Structure 1
């Protein structure tokens, strides 16, 4: 293993000892600031906890242009169903498995902790005289994963460089030069409750139906892979169950699914009271539905499980953010039949998946939607839908469809401010230099690509005029899900490329 690869991984493991949930980056921000000051670098942070660390040019590079190395501090916190990991306090464990590093039943946060580690090791190596480099600005932003609000909050003048390397891409050998814009929508469906004391209704028993074991994944990068959406499947399963045993024999209490707006939901569950005499028939129906789901998604989601089991009747739920807490209290109410019908129709009517492919770039998803999360709260059901498109008009179109379906179901809908697409500049001097250096270093051309994921480059370019930007990074598989892993040999290639790129800016 290249010594710098080892060093980068060691720094990455130190980063993973610090909780990095989106919107809770205070601790990692302070740690990064202290790291920079301990090495004598100029450091500053803004009110959002974005951090800038300035490493001066090494000898011979004083007149070179400043390069900005940019990444984000937060990570998507996903875990397998049986994991006890608490992302708010537990270190993320890193496991080397051959040429790959992965988590222990959790996402590992290589997206985008590896960017922090690479930037830090580069600056450190320059200070120690191990490499030469132009003036560097390490720009580390917050809250990229839940709305790119850190980048959106950057004030003009926070950094100075006009050449930016975003280290948030996931395929070594690929230079990303454009990305989709996006917008999230919050749908609120009012809940009408009916009194229904399950303990006294002796003809009913309490059951949980759940979809588990789905692949999930990044709602931009993997949206074209036709992976199952847990929320859609649980809705379809409930419809199938009602058709088989009669809607009046099921009284829904709770439906929940998904975790974050930018991950395809890999779990969902429903709790309901079930007419006792229909239990055997319900089991048969679930078995048929399970086989149908497993046959349909045998290739994309081979671990798919549709579980049906009786549970304690004394159970209720509280939702705070993305956390669901079970409480042992009597269940004395169920959704009204009208609420049930509106909810299921809404979840089945909302679009999910690829909406349109690009007419100009083969294989590129132009527009998509992710039916991301659903939560049952005290008086309402909250649903998040996440739209993406590289075309502004198409983003408005798919968002309009989401709004139309929501309003037809009697729900309220609010849209966030969204983030802009990053339009490619194939004549950029930075891109031309990067392509030349990559070819000279590895004897082959780098692939030039536009992606369907959202990158901070779009926002930064809209705020800072005259920026030249590309995005690159080591190879990461299955980001935004518990199977996330990073290909260790690709880190060495990124290091060698960046070292040679920095050398190419020497002016004397």
Structure 2
């Protein structure tokens, strides 16, 4: 399986990707992959440094004849999103990603692939290990915890890098040269609630919403895909408004930067109303499948008899919580009035959990306009506080303001035209890239982001295109050869 991946071209890149994907590397638990990259640099005899946050910097001198070129930082993040399908038996803590080639695409069996940002990491490793690739002096920057707060980039101090140019290898479409991005902030609501014994004569019912497409809560938010937490909340709102229903538990979504694909709830219903409730849920299932037939064709909404929950939440609390979540925007909040097709501001209701007397609602609010990001986060906080939640905002990071006149952008635009006989899509994106944060401590550094075609990032449908990786690799090497001399 993974041995077949090692035979793909460019071989040096894919072999490094296979080695990397054998190392568990969830966000905030990157100790093993940090050690892996440090060992890699030290085996090559290159200057290798780990900062206090966990970021790793490996320096490689310029190849002969390129000593007077500008220094380039090659940057990618070490962590990956760990997501798997509900029916997949896989332990992210102990197992390497199970990859396979499907035509022109590399995929994983029931889990995220880690191409985001593993392909970028593998490309940098291949350049560092090479003996025949011309390049200027390089600083390889491997950051940690990009996916759940960008704390690696936030913790990188000024003065550690000497580079004039930063090439961020974390874009997911090989036609794009990204020169700006959105900032973000985590909105976290928590609280406790009163429980009561389930009344006599109550039967249990498990509500399931699954089969949604999911995806990256920044890059894919423009596609209008269903959010399992919002759909479950809508369903619970409807049934609690029409039936005598007690809510035992809710468990939906996962990481903040992934559009939720699944949500589950356990409710109690009088035996006399069970059949009517099941029929109503099926009616709503038809409505939702019709609404989301284009974006989420595999959507399923199920109601199945189970044992009644032992305890249920206070109905008055449920009344307030469901309405508060209903009031939280999900998806696009505002499109950019200045850049066609760019989402300016959005929110992802990423995680909803209610169990054993406590609950939490986790959101990720993004915007390329910091004031609008703050405004939307405050609106979400206000709605949840009205339900009695304690709400905190944290992990805020800035956006990256485009500088279309930068020399590296002009160089790579011209090079793209020359190599591929096409016009690149020079744009800003709605994802949170580390460039905005890094630029705060290195304001004079020119930055650009590019990468191969990756589809379904942050979901078990993640895949990377083999031919696009070859295109990306060729473009990277050509760029390194064209880096101008220092002024």
TM-score (norm 1): 0.92
Matches for 1:335-354 after TM superposition, within 5 Å: 335-354=313-332
- After TM superposition, give the deviation of residue 466 of structure 1 in Å: 0.5
2:415 corresponds to which of 409, 429, 437: 437
Query: Is 1:389 equivalent to 2:394 in the alignment?
Result: no
2:184 corresponds to which of 158, 172, 182: 182
User: Is the CA contact 1:100–1:486 (under 8 Å) kept in the aligned structure 2?
Assistant: yes
- After TM superposition, give the deviation of residue 380 of structure 1 in Å: 2.1
- After TM superposition, give the deviation of residue 458 of structure 1 in Å: 0.3
User: Is the CA contact 1:168–1:473 (under 8 Å) kept in the aligned structure 2?
Assistant: yes
Aligned residue for 1:298?
A: 293
- After TM superposition, give the deviation of residue 507 of structure 1 in Å: 5.7
User: Is the CA contact 1:25–1:142 (under 8 Å) kept in the aligned structure 2?
Assistant: yes
SS in 1 for 2:141: strand
Aligned residue for 1:261?
A: 256
Aligned residue for 1:47?
A: 52
Aligned residue for 1:328?
A: none
Unpaired stretches in structure 1, ≥5 consecutive residues: 314-330
CA distance in 2, matches of 1:378, 1:457: 41
Aligned residue for 2:89?
A: 84
CA distance in 2, matches of 1:446, 1:235: 41
Aligned residue for 1:446?
A: 424
CA distance in 2, matches of 1:3, 1:439: 26
Matches for 1:192-211 after TM superposition, within 5 Å: 192-196=194-198, 201=200, 203-211=201-209
User: Is the CA contact 1:438–1:446 (under 8 Å) kept in the aligned structure 2?
Assistant: yes
Q: Cα deviation per residue 1:36-90 (whole Å; 9 max; x = unaligned)?
A: 1111111011122211111111110111111100000111111111111121221
Aligned residue for 1:161?
A: 163
Unpaired stretches in structure 2, ≥5 consecutive residues: none
Aligned residue for 1:213?
A: 211
My pick for the range that moved more, 497-506 or 155-164, is: 497-506
User: Is the CA contact 2:214–2:261 (under 8 Å) kept in the aligned structure 1?
Assistant: yes
SS in 1 for 2:258: coil
Matches for 1:136-175 after TM superposition, within 5 Å: 136-175=138-177
CA distance in 2, matches of 1:506, 1:61: 9
SS in 2 for 1:413: strand
Aligned residue for 2:103?
A: 98
User: Is the CA contact 1:4–1:495 (under 8 Å) kept in the aligned structure 2?
Assistant: no
Aligned residue for 1:15?
A: 20
- After TM superposition, give the deviation of residue 439 of structure 1 in Å: 2.0
User: Is the CA contact 1:145–1:262 (under 8 Å) kept in the aligned structure 2?
Assistant: yes
1:311 corresponds to which of 263, 285, 306: 306
Aligned residue for 1:457?
A: 435
SS in 2 for 1:36: helix
- After TM superposition, give the deviation of residue 242 of structure 1 in Å: 2.9
Number of aligned pairs? 481
Q: Cα deviation per residue 1:85-108 (whole Å; 9 max; x = unaligned)?
A: 121221111110000001101110
CA distance in 1, matches of 2:443, 2:257: 28
- After TM superposition, give the deviation of residue 146 of structure 1 in Å: 0.3
- After TM superposition, give the deviation of residue 260 of structure 1 in Å: 0.5
Q: Cα deviation per residue 1:385-425 (whole Å; 9 max; x = unaligned)?
A: 11111112211111121112112222111000400010000
CA distance in 1, matches of 2:189, 2:323: 14
CA distance in 2, matches of 1:374, 1:49: 30
- After TM superposition, give the deviation of residue 377 of structure 1 in Å: 4.4
Q: Cα deviation per residue 1:335-370 (whole Å; 9 max; x = unaligned)?
A: 011121112112211111111111110111111111
CA distance in 1, matches of 2:210, 2:423: 41
- After TM superposition, give the deviation of residue 122 of structure 1 in Å: 1.3
SS in 2 for 1:418: strand
User: Is the CA contact 1:220–1:454 (under 8 Å) kept in the aligned structure 2?
Assistant: yes
- After TM superposition, give the deviation of residue 220 of structure 1 in Å: 0.7
User: Is the CA contact 1:217–1:263 (under 8 Å) kept in the aligned structure 2?
Assistant: yes
SS in 1 for 2:222: helix
Aligned residue for 2:399?
A: 421
- After TM superposition, give the deviation of residue 6 of structure 1 in Å: 2.8
CA distance in 2, matches of 1:150, 1:336: 41
Q: Cα deviation per residue 1:290-323 (whole Å; 9 max; x = unaligned)?
A: 111111111110000112112245xxxxxxxxxx
Matches for 1:21-36 after TM superposition, within 5 Å: 21-36=26-41
- After TM superposition, give the deviation of residue 434 of structure 1 in Å: 1.2
Query: Is 1:108 equivalent to 2:113 in the alignment?
Result: yes
Query: Is 1:368 equivalent to 2:368 in the alignment?
Result: no
Aligned residue for 1:225?
A: 223
